[in-house]
Amino acid sequence: MSLTTAFFAIIRRDLLLAFRRRAELANPLLFFVMVVTLFPLAVGAQPNLLQAMAPGVIWVAALLAALLSLDNLFRSDFEDGSLEQLLLSPHSLSILVLGKILAHWLVTGLPLLLVAPLLALFLGLPQAAMGTLWLTLILATPMLSLIGAIGVALTVGLRRGGMILSLLVLPLYIPVLIFASNAVDRAASGLPVTAQLNILLAMLILALVLVPLPTSAALKMSVN
């Protein structure tokens, strides 16, 4: 069948799998909610401090939640031989990999997008920054899945790849973290954020174009 059919088939399959493994899926989201709700308890009743920290807290939690969910991206396919079958498809592996990453974002990034405004309200983030928080999440959470995919593809063949994965991926997440939380921070004090959003958009487009190729190469290496 055509490449488009295969692309949508893989997205459909991964969404279906995510639905059948709901408990596993809820983990990163629960983690995200828990970290953000624990902060006010630890810091105590200091609304001004919480308000100032809100962008950073939400973004750090989102980033760690994404990291937590990454390992599922290729692990089960690698273990049950589905990855081998993907490699044997006459279709371009990069496009299939992009489908998998998109499905991963839909099940891990999108829920964060829906919960984050609620948590931001809870931390007392000013109304003015809410729109920007959303925009940064829309632009940057797909990037977390994309950048993470390279790391997972490289470490999926290792028995205990978790530690190496964090070491590989976290430094690459730092620019995303800086620009995204900075944008929310500035929006909270009423400053313009166009520059930050443009940079995030540029980074997202760059990642969309550059990630699939090395990821598929790394997967081929891991299967070897």
Partner 1 sequence: MDNLHQPPLVVTNLSCQRDDRLLFSDLSFSLNHGEILLLEGSNGSGKTSLLRILCGFREADAGEIFWCGEAMADSRYFADMAYVGHADGSKKELTVLENLKFAQALKQVGRYSIEQALEKVQLSGYDDNLLQTLSAGQKRRLSLARLLITDNRLWILDEPFTSLDRQGIVLIESLMAEHVAQGGMVILTSHHDLSLPFNAIQRIHLDSCH
Chain centroid to Cα 53, Å, comes to 21
Element (H, E) at 156: none
Among 26, 34, 38, 87, contact with partner 1 (rule: CB under 8 A): 87
For partner 1, which is the closer residue by CB, 142 or 212?
Answer: 212
Question: Does the protein bind partner 1 through residue 86 (CB under 8 A)?
Answer: yes
Residue closer to partner 1, measured from CB, 21 or 114: 21
The Cα 136–Cα 182 span in angstroms is 10
Q: Is position 6 an interface residue for partner 1 (rule: CB under 8 A)?
A: yes
Decide if residue 75 touches partner 1 (CB under 8 A).
no
Stretch that binds partner 1, among 59-67, 84-92, 183-191, 194-202 (CB under 8 A): 84-92
DSSP-derived 3-state class of residue 92 = coil
Give how far Cα 16 sits from Cα of 12, 13, 107, 113, Å. Answer: 6, 5, 10, 20
223 binds partner 1 (CB under 8 A): yes
Q: Are 199 and 193 in contact (CB under 8 A)?
A: no
CB of 54 to partner 1, least distance (A): 38
Number of residues that bind partner 1 (CB under 8 A): 27
Is 76 a binder of partner 1 (CB under 8 A)? yes
d(CA 47, CA 113): 24
**Euclidean distance between CA atoms 72 and 24, whole angstroms:** 9
* 121 or 220: CB nearest partner 1: 220
What CA–CA distance (Å, rounded) separates 218 from 173? 19
Which residue in 45, 48, 90, 171 binds partner 1 (CB under 8 A)? Answer: 90
Binding site for partner 1 (CB under 8 A): 1, 5-6, 9-10, 13, 16-17, 20-21, 76, 79-82, 84-91, 96, 220, 223-224
